[in-house]
Amino acid sequence: INSQLARGLGLPVAAAAFSFLSGAIVLGIISVTVVKLQGISLDWKAPAPWLFVAGGMLGGFYVTLSTILTPRIGAAALMAFLVTGQLLAGMLIDRVGFLGVAVREISLGRVAGAVLLLAGALLVRLY
């Protein structure tokens, strides 16, 4: 969807921005509705921790990169590489215990699984 929008607009970053803007509007409406229905009061004065801001920035990068790469390498290859990247990131998060995640060692089996997933992604891309 975003790739077609980028083609129509002529600029992948504009497509990503439109995607995020429309998503933000929908999430805003849902948030206001939930707040009203549940009687919750939000503290808008609280500063956003760096991680929340980083999450939005990474999401923007993800959507923009997906919009650019899908027409170039295909949707299946993109998904294969994204899953591989997520697995590798998950292994790193497990290893260092990032954000309070229980520390898990990187075992030979985990490395083998990651290598097989990467090999599969490469096969999807090349053939």
Does 56 lie in the same domain as 1?
yes
pLDDT digits (tens, 9 = 90+) for 86-102: 999 999 999 999 988 99
Does 78 lie in the same domain as 64?
no
Per-residue model confidence (pLDDT) at position 56? 86
Q: Please give the model's pTM, rounded to 2 decimal places.
A: 0.76
Per-residue model confidence (pLDDT) at position 47? 67
pLDDT digits (tens, 9 = 90+) for 65-84: 999 999 999 999 999 999 99
Per-residue model confidence (pLDDT) at position 49? 79
Q: What is the DSSP letter of 39?
A: T
Integer CA distances (angstroms), 73 to 66, 90, 104, 121, 124, in order? 10, 24, 33, 11, 10
Please, are residues 62 and 85 in contact by the beta-carbon 8 Å criterion? Answer: no
Does 44 lie in the same domain as 10?
yes
Per-residue model confidence (pLDDT) at position 40? 86
Residue 89 to residue 99: CA distance in whole angstroms: 13
Does 93 lie in the same domain as 67?
no
Which range of residues forms the domain containing residue 63?
1-73
Does 54 lie in the same domain as 18?
yes
Residue 12 to residue 63: CA distance in whole angstroms: 9
Residue 61 to residue 55: CA distance in whole angstroms: 10
Total structural domains in the chain?
Answer: 2
Q: What is the mean pLDDT of the chain?
A: 91
pLDDT digits (tens, 9 = 90+) for 16-54: 999 989 999 999 999 999 999 998 887 777 767 788 788
Integer CA distances (angstroms), 89 to 79, 94, 95, 106, 123, in order? 15, 9, 10, 12, 21
- Kindly provide the b/e burial profile for residues 101-110, where b requires at least 16 CB atoms within 10 angstroms of the residue's own CB: eeeeeeeeeb
- Domain finish residue from 73, 92, 116: 73
